[in-house]
Amino acid sequence: MEQNPTFDLLQLYRARLSAGAAQSPETEKSLYALHQKALDELENSMRKNAREDALRIVQGERRAFGWSFLSGDLGNQAERAFNTLAAELERQP
C-alpha cells in the first residue's frame, strides 16, 4: 500500500489515544472510548474519500475536546495528535 502522510497522522493519533486510554483514570475511560469511536468513523470516511463526512467528524471532535479534558501528558499528546491530523485534513482540497 502506498504511504500516505494523512493516514500516518491518523495512526499516530490512534497510538496516542490507545496509550492514554491504557493509563487513564477510570473516570476518563469513557472519554477515550468516545474519541476512539469517532476516530474509527473518521478513518472509514477517509478510506471512502468522503471529505465532507470526515470534516464533519473533525468538527465534532474539536467540540468534544473543547467540552472535555483528557488529563496528563498522555491526554495532551492525544489532543495534539488530533489537532495535527485535523489541520492536515482541513488543509487538503
- For 26-46, the pLDDT digits (tens) are 989 999 999 999 999 999 999
How far apart (Å, rounded) are the C-alpha atoms in residues 81 and 61? 12
The dihedrals phi and psi of 68, each to the nearest 5 degrees, come to: -120, 175
Count CB neighbours of 57 within 10 A: 22
Pick out the chain residues at pLDDT < 50: 1-2
How far apart (Å, rounded) are the C-alpha atoms in residues 40 and 2? 20
Half-sphere exposure of 5 (CA within 13 A, CB side): 7
Question: What's the grid cell of residue 47?
Answer: 478510506
Provide the whole-model pTM: 0.91
CB 6 within 8 Å of CB 88: yes
What pLDDT was estimated at residue 1? Answer: 40
What pLDDT was estimated at residue 42? Answer: 97
